[in-house]
Structure 1
Amino acid sequence: MGRPVTLFTGQWADIPLAELAPLAKKMGFDGLELACWGDHMEVDKAARSKKYCREKRELLKDHGLECYAISHHLAGQLVCDLNNDGRSDMFAPAELAGDPEGQRKWAVKTMKNTAKAAANMGVEVVNGFTGSSIWHMLYSFPPASEKMIEDGFKYFAKMWNPILDVFDKQGVRFALEVHPTEIAFDIITARRALEAIGHREAFGFNFDPSHLIWQGVDPVRFLKAFPDRIYHVHMKDAAVTLDGESGILGSHLNFGTPGRGWDFRSVGRGDVNFEDIIRTLNAQDYKGPLSIEWEDAAMDRVAGGTESCAFTKKVDFEKSDRVFDEAFDS
């Protein structure tokens, strides 16, 4: 058998977990990667109550599902972001609206609790975002000095090292989904982020090829650059759709809008070469789940999720235990 195929519930958080679990099983999934919003995983409760976590696992087990990771992208984003406009208010408690440092304090505490929640759930990986205090300097105009960029990586280390101390204590690893708006969004910045935190083992990556492919970054090259830091894998696709009018930056057009220079696609319908990814994961002996993060604004999500699950199970295969001609020696 290949690796377990799971569904990341972030884009399904509007559906109560008791309803989503049987639906996911019907779509063909082996497990769920629980998002820490909606009612799927209440972090503070999970951090203090093993009973709550046991009930979550029993709910999944009742439908033939497992859990290998939980994810808290929303709180993680606020740890390093500037939190200086209304977008951050969507991710934090309502009473902290308009309070950048209050939101940051809440986010740090919440991410520490997410490590404890993961330990109580019996999983070893938390996926998420880090945020970035320097993403807005990407274009380097107005000019951004090297010191300003270096200070951003130092700030990331200052904010995340205490969080990672809790992850170490709980025996859990944090997997950053390398992604625009994060401290690491390509291979070069991923290396720099690792250097900033002294390559500590608690910090690695949730590999998601969709966020690399549209930037022109080779997903397989990313895997080969960090063979010991791939803590989790998202199966997600994207397609570049440049038409000579829009640009690769998205043109302020929302996902799914005709004319965007790129967009997410259902797994197997975009530009990602998943065959090469599976072969590389096999060579690196990755044994974790393949978790589908489904986003395709042009498709029905149940149909797309079902199709993506079947595609992933078909494209995945086990690593060989021999070279072909060695069979002649037996």
Structure 2
Amino acid sequence: MKTLQGPGLFLAQFAGDSAPFNSLDSIARWAASLGFKALQIPSWDARLFDLALAAESQTYCDDLRGRLAELGLQISELSTHLQGQLLAVHPAYDRPFDGFAAAAVRGSPAARQAWAAEQLKLAAKASARLGLKAHATFSGALAWPYLYPWPPRPAGLVDEAFAELARRWTPILNAFDQAGVDVCYELHPGEDLFDGVTFERFLDAVQQHPRACILYDPSHFHLQQLDYLAFIDLYHSRIRAFHVKDAEFRPNGRQGVYGGYADWADRAGRFRSLGDGQIDFGAIFSKLTRYGYPGWAVLEWECCLKHPEDGAREGAAFIQRHLIRVADKAFDDFAGNGSPREELRALLGLGSAMVGAAGEAQP
């Protein structure tokens, strides 16, 4: 077992054009003042990070790590959620997602996809230079518009979508493998990888690639009414990143999981600040500790009610309270007597000699 590392903070929801959120140094000082120990850095935000430079310059990476270390901070992971999304975009979503891409490739799905693939490969190199072992991303989606089986899906449609997704991701997974970094897909509605079944389908399509891993976020599972605790039992060997995010699901006579096209504040299922929702984080931290989860517990703040700065301050303390310091001895060691082997055999009603496979006595 291992003691989880934390608390960490995903910076994507906090970065902005006003101080202290408009540079890595100033946002890092703010995060450290709240008690955070690590930052998950959105690689697309030039106000905070230069992905291309990090991929090529060890000096840049060493300097960045050193500046954070002076504040008592580490980097938990880099994130390419937006670039991963753009690796696979169904035409229905071309215009909404086009703004995620660099200006030079907008309006051209083929150029946008190539740019996203190159960004992901740069992230593999940058992660290696920064000494990271895990990377956070989205899978993208080709099949998502066909989630509900009406109208009936043509036979083979989903298989073809996952085969194409695997074709696009395999060279990227190989690049991360060369870098020694796990690719952790946040299983998220709107992505083709959004639950255990879809993750398994993808694993099959990429030939059980060892770098295809999971960013575990229970909020997305709760809003799907998936058993987020049983999920850990099933997939703990692939969980290599963790977003600590709360949610509530309160269905009524008018709406349920699908939300009736309502805005976030009016949906039956809503993301909430840590401690304000329904997620059983005590059980989650216990399971992840039991299974030896090797990474960071990172706050991803998303709430339709609470101010983000309050959510961050409360979230750092919330995660700290849930970290389980792993015991270095059994609780009943005081009752042990360290019996020698001969006494153990006597307690079992066995003689001092052992019988070998051929039936002869062994000393």
In the TM superposition, residue 165 of structure 1 has moved relative to its aligned partner by: 1.1
Q: Distance in 1 between matches of 2:155 and 2:327?
A: 47
1:269 maps to 2:269: no
Counterpart of 1:101, as a letter, is A
Aligned-pair identity in percent equals 32
1:82 maps to 2:82: no
1:320 maps to 2:327: yes
| TM-score relative to the length of structure 1 | 0.95
Q: Distance in 1 between matches of 2:331 and 2:64?
A: 45
Q: Distance in 1 between matches of 2:100 and 2:230?
A: 33
Q: Distance in 2 between matches of 1:206 and 1:183?
A: 14
- Residues 58-137 of structure 1 correspond to what in structure 2 (within 5 A)? 58-83=66-91, 84-137=93-146
| TM-score relative to the length of structure 2 | 0.87
Could you tell me which of 116, 139, 145 is aligned with 2:148? 139
Q: Distance in 1 between matches of 2:330 and 2:62?
A: 44
In the TM superposition, residue 291 of structure 1 has moved relative to its aligned partner by: 0.5
The equivalent of 1:233 in structure 2 is 242
In the TM superposition, residue 172 of structure 1 has moved relative to its aligned partner by: 1.2
1:219 maps to 2:219: no
Tell me the secondary structure at the aligned position of residue 136 of structure 1. helix
Tell me the secondary structure at the aligned position of residue 70 of structure 1. strand
Q: Are the equivalent residues in 1 in contact too, given 2:188–2:195 (CA < 8 A)?
A: yes
Cα deviations across residues 63-120 of structure 1 (Å, max 9, x unaligned)?
1111121111000001122255321212101222221111111111111111011111
Tell me the secondary structure at the aligned position of residue 65 of structure 2. helix
1:284 maps to 2:299: no
Q: Distance in 2 between matches of 1:133 and 1:295?
A: 26
Structure 2 runs not aligned, ≥5 long: 338-363
Tell me the secondary structure at the aligned position of residue 5 of structure 1. strand
Q: Are the equivalent residues in 1 in contact too, given 2:117–2:172 (CA < 8 A)?
A: yes
The equivalent of 1:13 in structure 2 is 15
Q: Distance in 1 between matches of 2:90 and 2:52?
A: 24
Q: Distance in 1 between matches of 2:328 and 2:198?
A: 35
Structure 1 runs not aligned, ≥5 long: none
Q: Distance in 2 between matches of 1:52 and 1:90?
A: 28
Cα deviations across residues 6-55 of structure 1 (Å, max 9, x unaligned)?
00111112122121101101111011111112222222121111222122
In the TM superposition, residue 57 of structure 1 has moved relative to its aligned partner by: 1.1
The equivalent of 2:49 in structure 1 is 41
Counterpart of 1:9, as a letter, is L
| Runs ≥4 residues deviating over 4 A | none
In the TM superposition, residue 61 of structure 1 has moved relative to its aligned partner by: 1.5
Q: Distance in 2 between matches of 1:243 and 1:17?
A: 43
